[in-house]
Chain A
Amino acid sequence: MNAHSADTELILGIGSPFGDDQAGWAVIEALQALSLPDHIRLERLDRPGSRLIEYLGQYDRITLIDAVVTEDQPVGTWLPLSLDQLEQSQPASSHGLGLAQALALIQALGEWPPSLRIFGICIDPPGLEESLSPAVIKGARQLAETLFSEVD
């Protein structure tokens, strides 16, 4: 992937095509319907694993959004996540590095971007259904509106 030269900010939704695991993609779709400035690039990625490194090295400011399975919060709740919180979570993918592992690898290699923040949207473990639950759709829209409201 090559960023356009004018792009300085990336908002990246991570997910897979299975049920509420599409939560990160839903945020990107909601943002695409809004009028974001040209310098912000929106991307959806399907289980990127270590490929995240290709993306993260190209932007000054990065926002990552992924689904998280937790029993501590209601489904559809969105919340900022620290790297420590991510590291405590289970690997998100068995077929590549999970998000926490990929970010830890980036950190170990000294390739950490200047600004990075992570948001999680709480889901139940997804099945093989194609559609998202109403609670996750609502949470994704709320997070998109919050991110949009922060734009200068």
Chain B
Amino acid sequence: MTSRRIRIDVPALTRVEGEGSLRLEVRDGQLIDLGLSIFEPPRYFEKFLEGRDASEVVDIVARICGICPVAYQISALNALESLAGEPLTDWARSMRRVFYCGEWLQSHALHIHLLALPDFLGFDDAVSMAARHPDAVKRGLRLQGLGNALIKLFGGRSVHPVGARLGGFHHAPSPDDVTAIVEKLKAAQPEARDLTHFCAGLSLPDDPQSFICVALHHPDGYAMESGDIRTSEGLTLKAHQFEQHFHEHHKPDSTALWSDLDGQPYLTGPLARLNLNHAQLPAFLQQRLNEIGLSLPSHNMFHSLLARAIEIEWVLHEAIERLSKYLLPPSAHTPLTLTEGVGYGMSEAPRGLLWHRYALGQDGLIKAARIVPPTSQNQARIEADLHRSLTAFGLDQDAEALRLRAEQVIRNYDPCISCATHFLTLEKHER
């Protein structure tokens, strides 16, 4: 009997952010055991938030993630602002969307160029790819830098921005600064178009599979910072209804909570968004979808790469459209009075749906917090995908090939652990 045991292990980390492991055991050509475990820091932040003033939440949650602080800020603000009687100004709502565009741009550019492309171009990592494809890497870094600049425009800094606050922003950018960044965004559009074609030209595995898609949907446009939940099964939910259908449970081998939608695994993230909301893309992107031959909805998870490229083009367009009409507001925020109660909020982080709930006391302090990040929501789907994809790929493949395919499958979802390039440690036991 031959037993091969494959372990995916992220080695010791000094940063407490997204650790994971995959346990995979194949015996006599059969998949005996497969278990994915991802460590989730947001759970600890839920306790940190208790007893804090509501106004502090936006800056605390920005610390949860070094890649998507804006997502945590916007979901938290949506939840807390639902407890206010006063509406936000149109300016604040519009600029929050632009702020968020910066995060999608930098996160997607990082993922495509530094994490995913080495898989498809046959390199161990971005560093070895950079020597052969410096222009591709530099393009990724330029797009990422532009996303960071957009975040900094409203957030004051790109890493853990501090510009957002209850009711709007602390500061409105000057029209001169806005004009300058609009020119840079316009200059990046041809590069983004080339990126989409470049990604479409890659030899992506053709591996369709069945899964449920979950994303926000907004009647006014491609959902990002607001909207209702929509599923490919036809369900539509407000933020306060999330817990009626989405449930979390512990698995014995994982510190993370696992989510299901009425008992089923589901997908959240760029491909789910594109599948559910592609009809709302502007005409030039509808044309782009035709050019690259991407038929939607797609059930090939490897099309997540194309979804990110399309969304990069979309955020550039969206930010340009909104900033081209920019006017300095009389005030960057509306003073809000929050009432005691439970506030629910959500938004589309680069990796997918990010849901928050806060119980606010009469004293203005947080009594309880709950944060459900996209990585935990995708865990059951990743595990189901691994079961199916590795079996279809061939469990008799050599260990190195299995390791690479497992990494590629996981990376499609862009979970926190996906950034640890080639993170599988392979152990082969034969007896």
Contact = CB atoms under 8 A, between A and B. Distances in A.
Interface of A: 1, 16-18, 21, 45-51, 53-54, 67-69, 90-97, 101, 104-105, 108-110, 123, 125-128
Given A50-B144, A93-B14, A125-B14, 5 more contacts: A94-B416, A94-B423, A96-B66, A101-B125, A128-B41
B134 A94 contact: no
Interface size class of B (residues with CB under 8 A): 35 or more
A95 B65 contact: yes
Contact of B127 (A54, A68, A108, A125): A108
B130 A50 contact: no
Given A90-B12, A90-B13, A123-B14, A46 B137 contact: no
Contacts of A95: 15, 17-18, 65-67, 416, 419
30 contacts: A1-B158, A16-B14, A16-B16, A17-B63, A21-B15, A45-B159, A50-B110, A51-B158, A53-B145, A54-B145, A90-B11, A91-B420, A92-B14, A92-B15, A93-B419, A94-B19, A94-B417, A94-B419, A95-B65, A95-B67, A96-B110, A97-B419, A101-B126, A101-B421, A108-B130, A108-B131, A110-B134, A125-B12, A125-B14, A128-B41
Interface string B1-31: 0000000001111111111100000000000
B195 interface: no
Contacts of B159: 45-48, 51
Contact of A69 (B14, B127, B420): B14
B14 A67 contact: yes
Contact of A94 (B13, B63, B158): B13
Nearest to B69: A46
Give the 6 A-B residue pairs with the shortest CB-CB distance, closest first: A47-B66, A108-B130, A94-B420, A90-B11, A93-B15, A104-B127
A17 to B, nearest CB: 5
Given A17-B63, A50-B144, A104-B127, A96 B16 contact: no
B148 A47 contact: no
A86 to B, nearest CB: 12
A68 B12 CA distance: 11
Contacts of B165: none
Among B11, B14, B110, max chain A CB count under 10 A is at: B14
B15 A128 contact: no
Contacts of B134: 108-110
A112 to B, nearest CB: 12
B15 A16 contact: yes
B10 A68 contact: no
B315 interface: no
Main SS class of interface, A: loop
B173 to A, nearest CB: 14
B422 to A, nearest CB: 10
Interface string B131-166: 100100110010011001000100001111000000
Contact of B44 (A49, A69, A94, A128): A128
A50 B127 CA distance: 11
Contacts of A108: 127-128, 130-131, 134, 137
A101 B16 contact: no
Contacts of B125: 101
B10 A97 contact: no
A34 to B, nearest CB: 23
Contacts of A54: 145, 148
Contact of B126 (A45, A46, A97, A128): A97
Nearest to B66: A47
B105 interface: no
A78 B423 CA distance: 29
Given A94-B416, A109-B130, A47 B15 contact: yes
Contact of A109 (B18, B138, B152): B138
Nearest to A102: B127
B272 interface: no
Contacts of B14: 16, 21, 67-69, 92-93, 123, 125-126
A53 B113 CA distance: 15
Given A18-B16, A105-B137, A46 B419 contact: no
A93 to B, nearest CB: 4
Nearest to A53: B141
Contacts of B20: 94
Contacts of A92: 13-15
Interface string B333-358: 00000000000000000000000000
B11 A51 contact: no
B114 interface: yes
Interface string B289-309: 000000000000000000000
Among A95, A101, A104, A108, max chain B CB count under 10 A is at: A95
Contact of B15 (A45, A68, A94): A94
A17 B48 CA distance: 12
B126 to A, nearest CB: 6
A45 B159 CA distance: 7
A104 B44 CA distance: 33
Contact of A93 (B44, B66, B158, B160): B66
